[in-house]
Homo-oligomer: A and B are copies of this chain.
Amino acid sequence: MPLQVAVCGPRMCSEEEWQDACTTGRLLAERGAVVICGGQGGVMAAVAGGARSAGGIVVGVLPAADRSSADPALTVAIPTGLGEARNNVIVNAADAVIVIGGSWGTLSELALAMRSGRVPVVQLGGWHVLDEQGRPLSGICHASTPRQALELTGLWS
């Protein structure tokens, strides 16, 4: 079975985040990885479009119980009917999680991925999490380009 990489990010994203997500999707597809995403707009739509442009498979795991909010670029839509509890399904489905940009939903996915302790988590831009003393928390890899994000997952090293 091919590698599966989750790419998480906000529905409302900047032009730069859109470009990064699009490039990340394309690079993942070129390496044969299935892309898992939240299946809606913004970063989710961009990563789906990028992956499809390179012939990749993209699965959108949706909060709703039907497909009406699914981005048209998805190969498969999984409307879970779970609401935001679907964020943990995205994390469970991934061999690595790449986070692009910031939002509360995105942060919950980052936190659930770190909570699982099971997969590499790479952040490309986005929000910062500090501990009680204001120090950055260990365990998250920070990339400055999509290519570096893939490298930091360690899946192709």
The residues of B that contact A92 with a CB separation of less than 8 Å are 65-66, 78-81, 83
Contact B107 A129 (CB under 8 A): yes
Question: What are 11 pairs between A and B in contact, CB < 8 Å?
Answer: A1-B77, A4-B77, A65-B83, A66-B92, A81-B82, A81-B92, A85-B89, A102-B132, A103-B115, A104-B114, A128-B134
Contact A70 B132 (CB under 8 A): no
Contact A89-B84, Cβ < 8 Å, known A72-B1, A102-B131: no
Q: A79 vs B97: C-alpha distance in the bound complex, in angstroms?
A: 15
A75 at the interface (CB under 8 A from B): yes
> Which one of A34, A61, A93, A105 has the greatest number of beta carbons of chain B within 10 Å?
A93
